[in-house]
Structure 1
């Protein structure tokens, strides 16, 4: 697969501390699962259409849901944004964003991102 995405160990190193620790049974490699999550989201695929190289699609989906509820992605994004330093301009291009028909139910399920701690734009 030419479009295969796999994060390198160097890319994983700064974000590894934000993932929850494994309790008991060793879990599937976080790097492989996170790469699968990014691949599915980047390509707009259904979870079941994730290539088998990333592991079982159910594992990828369950890990995405669990990490979302635990705020893992919010903490990673906040840390990476803080490392980037101050910017003079902030631009958001939403011309390519699309919402799935079930996106409206995310707020009810508690999966809506918490932006209350986000910096306010001047």
Structure 2
């Protein structure tokens, strides 16, 4: 079973929202679910997987400034704040903390519902620590 975990965190790297997709699905195709549930924010830091024109326009429509580098296959380069993008390591630290939980790191649970429940439990603990 191959799945991807997508997360929304706050400025200090605490998990706020999660959703999962199949592993072979592209990141930006399922980002539509992410846009509708975003909390009020000034900035959104995302990796190259979320580089899509419609996603960028949706963020502007919500009043969120985006900091997403363009994919390498993009014809026209996209400008983004490189200094601000370096703060994306907080998201990676959050995923590393989640993987401290052996059940999540090894994908011990076969059921998606049970696996997402384990992630919710771990993220609740991470949020308050």
TM exceeds 0.5?
no
Larger Rg: 1
Would you tell me which structure has more helix in proportion to its own residues?
1
Would you tell me which structure has more strand in proportion to its own residues?
2
| TM-score (norm. length: structure 2) | 0.27
| TM-score (norm. length: structure 1) | 0.28
